[in-house]
């Protein structure tokens, strides 16, 4: 794999202001030699990709245009509205030029970091460009949203596609319409663009013809060196999991052990990054005996694995080992994301098998159970999208981790794609070392049979909420029978598990449920240590039908949800006993499964 060159290593080391002709010629020859094989590989892949339209955008666009053309008066009104919006922006900017202290008509949404530079507000040209772009983006979305006579789901698919298109055409993504890039280009005499082009080539080489955008400094991190460093050992393993027991840091520990079921869509160490933000270390320091499942990163030999395999080889095998090792007859269990969905299925199965006494309490972190309003990910789960994935899976038996990583990035394109295009390729800078983004790029494959069933049964058909809609190991599942005390943690800006959808799932249980909503998103809202003093959370044990009603009566509290959860879990944790020593270790944590690459 080609490594990025620093400016000092590159043959295009420039003077402070500009590149001379000889340097430019040498650069172009080097570029030509490197780019030819990349272009060939990229064109071959692009030719195959052009025949696919997994979201069926073409048909959605055709129906959209048919609806507009069938109503010429509405189409004319839309055009008129668009030009009136333009004129309003012209008037706004002109009055500012004359000295009137006016507010922008169109402003970036909360959290949109693209237009932070002062020039976007103070320079009339850039102000006009910004407002024109934001107006057009909003007009496109509202036009699609207000177009009737489109088939179910087509509006959502077309709106998603239009947002992707608009994000790609943002003025911040181009040299001449980004004031920061213009300033840097003038300052360096264009050297930033040359460095950026080398970064682009390096990323294409890293992706073997595909553009694999670097989002962090990958040399800065290593699992077991400065990530996943909480002391512990692998104490059990089968062909699906390694079970890690962490070393106790307190002389006394709670009698009831704690098992964490992370998602297998990503690697477990999101909950054990650096010591200062490790949820695992914090749990151990509170006196819990913590066990963590580390899933295998599957290859084609795992193609036929199912939810039943993951339940039996994952949760049930781990519980059996913990019961034998600790002598405890029951365990507190945490499930994160799809790990929480699997935990739900397991609890329903245990209820049918009269085994639910083995789990004393269940905690669900950003977990979908009711998939009816599961957000933009549902767009990737209709019949045509699933058929496309089925074809892609046939070759290797697994869904490549890169597909899932790219899909999640597309849901937050401005943060996870275009911000790095600007930083790496236009500004010519290296990405900042960021542990969360290193973890995000440490992708995992998905067993083909399991993933397709997940999309069909849950995202497409929402069978988990239907009594008997799904079965595991010979038992029909009914999540409404689950009466295990449960804690649900969701996050307000979650783009993977929208909190109103997770709230609907929490209301299905028949036992006591505490629903808590944290600020921020799917990762940052969960990995929020008390010492960071960031964000806030809302809590209420009352679960009215409407999530808006819950939000209205919920109590906002500052700081991390971790301490609130600790208060909730203590009654289920048991009395304090002597700490448990690790025995018969297989290998030190973090183990070998987590190091297996996709």
Q: Single out the catalytic residue among 337, 345, 360, 573.
A: 337
The alpha helices in 337-400, defined as continuous H runs, are 338-352, 383-394
- Degrees to nearest 5, angle at CA 192 with 188 and 195: 135
CA-CA distance, 220 to 190, in Å (whole number)?
28
SS3 per residue for 156-213: HHHHHHHHHHHHHCCHHHCHHHCHHHHHHHHHHCCHHHHHHHHHHHHHHHHCCCCCCC
Question: Which positions ≥6 away from 594 have C-beta within 8 Å?
Answer: 223, 228, 242, 267, 268, 269, 294
- Asked if 382 contacts 456 with a C-beta cutoff of 8 angstroms, the reply is no
User: Which of 366-399 are b and which e, b meaning 16 or more Cβ less than 10 Å from the residue's Cβ?
Assistant: bbbbbbeebbbbbbbbbeebbebbeebbeeebbb
DSSP 324-352: HHH--S-EEEEEETHHHHHHHHHHHHHHH
Question: Which positions ≥6 away from 412 have C-beta within 8 Å?
Answer: 495
CA-CA distance, 26 to 32, in Å (whole number)?
10
Say how many C-beta atoms besides its own lie within 10 A of residue 510's C-beta. Answer: 13
CA-CA distance, 98 to 79, in Å (whole number)?
29
CA-CA distance, 2 to 100, in Å (whole number)?
54
Distance, C-alpha 121 to centroid of its chain: 31
CA-CA distance, 448 to 313, in Å (whole number)?
17
Give the three-class secondary structure for 529. coil
Pick from 73, 133, 75: which is nearest to 109 by CA? 133
Return the structure tokens found at 347: 């609890």
Report CA torsion sign: 407, 413, 415, 419. positive
Say how many C-beta atoms besides its own lie within 10 A of residue 65's C-beta. Answer: 12
SS percent in the chain: helix, strand, coil, step 5? 50, 10, 35
**Does 536 qualify as catalytic in the annotation?**
no
- Degrees to nearest 5, angle at CA 411 with 380 and 385: 10
DSSP 459-513: IIT-GGGSTTSSEETTEE--GGG--S-EEEEEETT-SSS-HHHHHHHHTT-SS-E
Pick from 538, 542, 531, 529: which is nearest to 558 by CA? 538
Give the three-class secondary structure for 435. helix
Give the three-class secondary structure for 458. helix
Return the structure tokens found at 86: 């333009």
What phi and psi values does residue 373 have, to the nearest 5 degrees? -120, 55
| 61-66-69-70 Cα dihedral, nearest 10 degrees | -150
Active site residues per annotation: 337
């Amino acid at each position: 794999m080609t490594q990025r060159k620093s400016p000092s290593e590159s043959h295009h080391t420039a003077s402070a202001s500009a590149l001379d002709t000889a340097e430019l010629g040498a650069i172009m020859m080097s570029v030509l030699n490197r780019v030819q094989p990349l272009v060939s590989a990229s064109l071959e892949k692009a030719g195959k990709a052009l025949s696919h339209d997994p979201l069926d955008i073409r048909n959605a666009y055709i129906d959209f245009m048919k609806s507009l053309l069938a109503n010429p008066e509405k189409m004319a009104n839309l055009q008129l509205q668009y030009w009136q919006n333009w004129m309003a922006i012209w008037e706004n900017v002109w009055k500012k030029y004359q000295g009137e202290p006016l507010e922008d008509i169109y402003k970036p949404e909360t959290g949109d970091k693209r237009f932070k530079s002062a020039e976007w507000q103070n320079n009339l040209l850039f102000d006009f460009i910004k407002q024109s772009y934001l107006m057009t983006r909003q007009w496109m979305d509202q036009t699609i949203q207000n177009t009737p006579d489109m088939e179910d789901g087509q509006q959502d698919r077309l709106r998603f596609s239009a947002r992707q298109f608009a994000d790609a055409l943002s003025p911040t993504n181009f040299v001449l319409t980004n004031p920061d890039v213009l300033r840097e280009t003038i300052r360096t005499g264009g050297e930033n663009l040359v460095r950026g082009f080398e970064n682009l080539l390096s990323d294409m080489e890293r992706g073997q013809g595909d553009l694999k955008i670097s989002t962090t400094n990958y040399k800065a991190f290593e699992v077991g060196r400065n990530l996943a460093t909480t002391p512990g050992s692998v104490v059990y393993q089968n062909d699906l999991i390694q079970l890690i027991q962490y070393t106790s840091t307190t002389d006394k520990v709670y009698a009831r052990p704690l098992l964490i079921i992370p998602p297998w869509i990503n690697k477990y160490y999101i909950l054990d990054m650096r010591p200062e933000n490790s949820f695992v270390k914090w749990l151990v320091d509170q006196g819990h005996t913590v066990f963590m499942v580390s899933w295998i990163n599957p290859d084609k030999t795992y193609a036929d694995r199912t939810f039943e395999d993951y339940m039996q080889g994952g949760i049930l095998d781990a519980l059996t080992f913990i019961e034998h090792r600790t002598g405890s007859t029951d365990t507190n269990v945490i499930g994160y994301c799809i790990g929480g969905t699997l935990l739900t299925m397991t609890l329903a199965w245990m209820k049918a098998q009269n085994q639910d006494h083995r789990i004393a309490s269940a905690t669900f972190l950003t977990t979908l159970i009711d998939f009816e309003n599961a957000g933009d990910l549902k767009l990737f789960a209709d019949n045509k999208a699933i058929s496309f994935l089925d074809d892609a899976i046939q070759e290797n038996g697994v869904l490549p981790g890169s597909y899932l990583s790219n899909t999640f990035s597309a849901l937050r394109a401005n943060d996870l794609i275009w911000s790095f295009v600007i930083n790496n390729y236009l500004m010519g800078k290296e990405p900042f070392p960021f542990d969360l983004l290193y973890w995000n790029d440490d992708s995992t494959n998905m067993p083909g049979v399991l993933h397709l069933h997940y999309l069909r049964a849950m995202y497409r058909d929402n069978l988990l909420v239907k009594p008997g809609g799904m079965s595991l190991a010979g038992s029909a599942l009914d999540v409404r029978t689950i009466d295990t005390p449960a804690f649900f943690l969701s996050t307000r800006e979650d783009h993977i598990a929208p909190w109103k959808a997770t709230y609907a799932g929490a209301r299905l249980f028949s036992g006591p449920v505490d629903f808590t909503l944290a600020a921020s998103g799917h990762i940052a809202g969960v990995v929020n240590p008390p010492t960071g003093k960031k964000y806030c959370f809302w809590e209420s044990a009352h679960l009215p039908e409407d999530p808006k009603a819950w939000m209205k009566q919920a109590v906002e509290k500052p700081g991390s949800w971790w301490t609130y959860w600790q208060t909730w879990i203590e009654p289920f944790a048991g009395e304090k006993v002597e700490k448990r020593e690790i025995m018969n270790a297989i290998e030190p944590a973090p183990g070998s499964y987590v190091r297996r690459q996709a």
